[in-house]
Every structure is written in C-alpha cells, then in structure tokens.
Amino acid sequence: MAAIWTELSALQQDIALLLGLLLPAVLIGALVLRGFHPAPLVRAMLWRFRWPNALFVLLIAVSLGIGIGLLAQERGLRRGTAAAADKFDLIVSAPGSEVTMMLAAVYLQPSDVPLLSGDIFNVVAGNENVALAAPLAFGDSFQGASVVGTTPEFVSYLSDGRIDGAVFSEHEQAVVGAAVPLRIGDTFKPAHGVGDGADHDAHDHALTVVGRMEPTGTPWDRAILIPVEAVWETHGLANGHAPEHGDQIGPPFDAAYFPGTPAIIVHAEALWANYALRSEFTRDAETMAFFPGAVLSRLYRVMGDVRQAMSVMSLVTQVLVAASVLVGLLILIRLFQRQLALLRALGAPARFVFAVVWSYAAALLLVGALLGVLVGQAATWALSAILTSRTDIAIQAPLGWPEAHFVAGFVTLSTVLALLPAVTVMRQSIVKGLRG
C-alpha cells in the first residue's frame, strides 16, 4: 500500500487524499438518504428559519475562511520571500550572522556589520567561476526609499534588463525601483540614514534619475540604486578607483582606494560553481559565504513547526465551531419538533426522519464550507495586499491543496457530528412532539 502511494505523483496524492477525506461524508450521505427523497422537506425547513440558518452558515463560513486564509497566507509568504531571494545565489560577507546579512542584502534591512576590503572583493570578482560580483553600500535614503550603491552590471542583473530608460553611467545618476515616487529626469538629494532619524541635510550630492526598473516583486522595488562610487564619495571616502580613473563606474576596483563593502553579491553561471565558491570563500575570521536560499529554508523549517502548530490550532478552532454549530442545531431542531413528530405519526420510517434532520444539518454545513472557501480567498487577497504593501515582497496566496484538504476534513467531520441531532430526534416521544 505504502509502495503504491509513493509511486503516485504529488498531484495524484493530493487528489487521492481529497477524495479519501470526502469519502466518509459521501458514504454517510448515501447510506442515510438511500431510497428517500427528502429534498423538498429540507428546503422548506431551511426556508422556514432562514435567518438563524443564514447566521449559522455565516459563522461557519467566516471561521473556516479565516482558517484557510491563514494557511494559504503562510504559504504565500514563504513563496514570496523565497522568490525575492531568487537573484541572490551567493552572498560573501564578513563572518557574523547569516540571517542579519541576508536581511540586509536581500530584504534591504541593513544593520551595522563589518566591511570587506578591496583585496577580498578583487579575489572574489576575479575568480574564474564568478560571472558577476557586486558590492553593496547602504545607509542613505530618500523619502523612505533605501539608497543602495552598487554596479551597473548588478542593476541589469537584478532587473533582467527590464529598465525603462538607462542604467546609470555617471556618478550623479540613479535608477529607481518601480515603487519609488520619482520619475526619470527628477533630481534628488539622499538623506543620511534611514527612517525617522535620517539627516536630510547631511549630503549635498544631487542625483538624477535616468532609469526605472520594472516591478520585481521584491523590496528592491522601493530602492534607489546609484553607483557605489557615489555613495562613497558622498561620505567623503575614496571612490574605489585611483584618482586617474576617478570617473570610472563599476569594476575593476583598486583595492587601495576601496573603502569596503558589507556584502558582495555573487552570481555564477553554473550551479556547481556556487558550491565551489561557497567553500572557497568560507574562511575563518576573514569571510563567510552563504546561500540565502539555504538560510531561508532553515528559517522555514523553524516556521514549519509554527505552521504545524497553526494548522492544529486552526483545526481545533474548526472543531470548536462545529461543536457550537452542533449545539445550535440541537436547539434549532427543537423548532421543528412538531413537524418531525408529525412525520413519524404519519408513518414515516425512523430512517426517513433521520435523513431529513441529517440533510438539513449537512446542507447548512456544506453551504457554510463552500462559502468559507470564498471568504478564505477574499481573506488571502486582503492579507496579501496588506503584507505586500508593508514588505514590498510580492505575495500571492492562491488557495491550494492543503486548503482543499482542510475544507474536506471539516465537511466530513461535521457531517459525522450532524448525525447526533438526528439521533436525538429519534429518542423523543411522538405524542409530546405533536403537542409541541
């Protein structure tokens, strides 16, 4: 059995699991309804107390919707953050926290970190397997947008060449991310620092926007990219080149005039080369090299435990909701006590009355679950929009198989629970029921 299961494709496993989860509900329905046609009566019962019924459906829909919305959102967040790190194959930095460095280099959340020297940069950039090595320089901002110093090659690499206008070719030029409120031709002066504490008058170095990147779905959409030389010059440092090459933009850099970079973004054409480069540049007390993707997956493993806890909590919440609905149904069923007693008085088999009550409860639960899927979809759209606007990471959280399994599990569990009100009805006296 296990061997058959492992031979199935992921899609086949998902479909099989979905059908497996729904099977008990379908079997119960088939067994309970066999030989009867209680639909007209059930419709009448649903319509008779339509407002309490609608409230039940809404309660189920909202609780289920929030549950599946959170599940989908968590997955969307993981995918979005992973996609944002796609362009960052390997990062070389001074030894320290990989997470801190990844947050700084990939997600533009800079912190004070030691710098790498020009010699190290040149060793990295000069390696035969390195297709691109770019220094980064942080610390300035403009109206909340990080100003990042780097090379023209990195700008082309990051944007895949999808740039409206041109990449900077002079010290006073800049390329802006898609979400930066500057147009091509605009001139601005970066402030020193980021956020509320930024000093707006520290620099007198005006830059002109010459290009705008297409949206990348990463925090870099809200960044302003300028020549790394310009950042260094603004801060009164050497600009990475000997005075006779003072106007040069990008590599090669002269180690003697290289003020230092917190991180080098490295891209190799071949996958294996990344591994070779990582071991080569992992040197005690000098440099550390890491894959942001690997750091993220370690983080996701930690988050995975949280996710499992979330799933369990979500399921427990659903069971509690189902239990509350069950209590509500038991109360609601009492409203139909006379009609149900009448059916038994007229000679309806116990199983028919059972089928009517179960169908009524199952209909409420099923409609609630289906509506819950819509609520879940709306919740993920809203949450994705909020998170995207706050993090600049493009987050898409379409509902997927885990949510389908979650809903199917809820439907089956609650249809089993719906047998209870039906059993209770059977235990009541017909004559007492008729008298109301």
Partner 1 sequence: MSSALRLSDVAVTGDTGRRLLRVPSLDVTPGTSLGIRGPSGAGKSTLLFAVAGLLSRVSGGVFWAETDICAMTAEQRAAFRARHMGLIFQDFLLFEELSALDNATLPAQFAPKSGRAQIRAAAQDHLTALGLHDLDRPVASFSGGERQRVAIARALANDPGILLADEPTASLHRDAADRLIDDLVASQAAARRTLIAVSHDPALLDRMDRVLTVTDGQITDDSGA
Q: Are 90 and 267 in contact (CB under 8 A)?
A: yes
Tokens of 49: 């107390």
Task: For residue 380, give both structure tokens.
Answer: 């993920």
Beta-carbon contacts of residue 15 (< 8 Å; ≥ 6 apart): none
Tokens 């071949």: give the residue: 270
Q: Which is nearer to partner 1, 363 or 373 (CB)?
A: 363
Residues from 309 through 338 that contact partner 1 (CB under 8 A): 338
Contact predicate 147/162, CB 8 Å: no
As given in the structure block, the two tokens for residue 406 are 């979650």
| Closest approach of partner 1 to the CB of residue 53, in Å | 12
Q: Which residues contact 368 (CB under 8 A, 6 or more apart)?
A: 56, 57, 58, 59, 60, 61, 64, 325
Please answer whether residues 91 and 289 qualify as being in contact, where contact means their C-beta atoms are separated by less than 8 angstroms: yes
431 binds partner 1 (CB under 8 A): yes
Footprint (CB under 8 A) of partner 1, residues 339-398: 339, 342-350, 352
* Minimum CB–partner distance for residue 369 and partner 1 (Å): 24
Q: Is 283 in the site for partner 1 (CB under 8 A)?
A: no
* Residue 4 found at the interface with partner 1 (CB under 8 A): no
- Distance of alpha carbon 160 from alpha carbon 179, whole angstroms: 17
DSSP of 310-363: HHHHHHHHHHHHHHHHHHHHHHHHHHTHHHHHHHHHTT--HHHHHHHHHHHHHH
- Partnered with residue 93 across adjacent β-strands are 263, 288
Residue with Cβ nearer partner 1 (40 or 236):
40
> Binding to partner 1 by residue 54, rule CB under 8 A?
no
Contact 78, 213 (CB under 8 A): no
CB of 348 to partner 1, least distance (A): 4
Among 230, 222, 224, 261, which residue's Cα sits nearest to residue 247?
230
**Per rule CB under 8 A, is residue 37 in the interface with partner 1?**
yes
Sequence-ordered alpha helix ranges (H) in 346-400: 350-391
50's tokens: 């339509």
Q: Does 41 bind partner 1 (CB under 8 A)?
A: yes
What are the start-end ranges of the H helices in 98-181? Answer: 98-105, 118-126, 152-159
- Of 36, 157, 300, 381, the residue at the interface with partner 1 (CB under 8 A) is 36
Of 51 and 272, which CB lies nearer to partner 1 in the complex structure?
51
Q: How far is the CB of 435 from partner 1 (least distance, A)?
A: 9
Rounded to an integer, what distance in angstroms lies between the CA atom of residue 130 and that of residue 132?
Answer: 6
Judged by beta carbon, residue 117 or residue 428, the one nearer partner 1 is 428
Segment interacting with partner 1, rule: CB under 8 A, options 35-43, 72-80, 166-174, 275-283: 35-43
Nearest CB to partner 1, comparing residues 38 and 152: 38
Residue number with CB closer to partner 1 (111 or 429): 429
d(CA 239, CA 237): 6
Binding residues for partner 1, rule CB under 8 A, total 26
Closest to partner 1 by CB, 276 vs 430, is: 430
C-beta of 329: minimal distance to partner 1 in Å? 19
Q: Does 429 contact partner 1 by CB under 8 A?
A: yes
235 near partner 1 (CB under 8 A): no
Binding status of residue 47 toward partner 1 by CB under 8 A? yes
142/352 with CB nearer partner 1: 352
Q: What is the DSSP letter of 178?
A: T
Residue with the two structure tokens 């599990």? 409
Specify which residues 266 forms β-bridges with.
90, 133
Judged by CB, which is closer to partner 1: 210, or 356? 356
Q: What is the DSSP letter of 164?
A: E
331 or 430, CB closer to partner 1? 430
Instruction: Supply the minimum distance, in Å, between the C-beta of residue 429 and partner 1.
Output: 7
Q: Does 38 bind partner 1 (CB under 8 A)?
A: yes
Cβ(194)–Cβ(139) under 8 Å? yes
Round to whole Å and give the CA distance between 35 and 128.
77
Question: What is the spatial distance between Cα 15 and Cα 6, in angstroms, rounded to a whole number?
Answer: 14
Choice between 11 and 431, CB closer to partner 1: 431
Q: CB under 8 A: which stretch of 101-109, 271-279, 411-419, 427-435 binds partner 1?
A: 427-435
Question: In terms of Cα–Cα distance, which of 53, 31, 38 is closest to 353?
Answer: 38
Question: CB under 8 A: which stretch of 41-49, 144-152, 292-300, 389-397 binds partner 1?
Answer: 41-49
Residue selected from 44, 316, 331, 378 as contacting partner 1 according to rule CB under 8 A: 44
Tokens of 151: 């090379």
| Residue 423 touches partner 1, criterion: CB under 8 A | no
- Report in angstroms how near the CB of residue 331 gets to partner 1 at its nearest: 20
Residues 171-190 within binding reach of partner 1 (CB under 8 A) = none
Binding footprint of partner 1 on the chain (CB under 8 A): 35-38, 40-41, 43-44, 47-48, 338-339, 342-350, 352, 429-431, 434
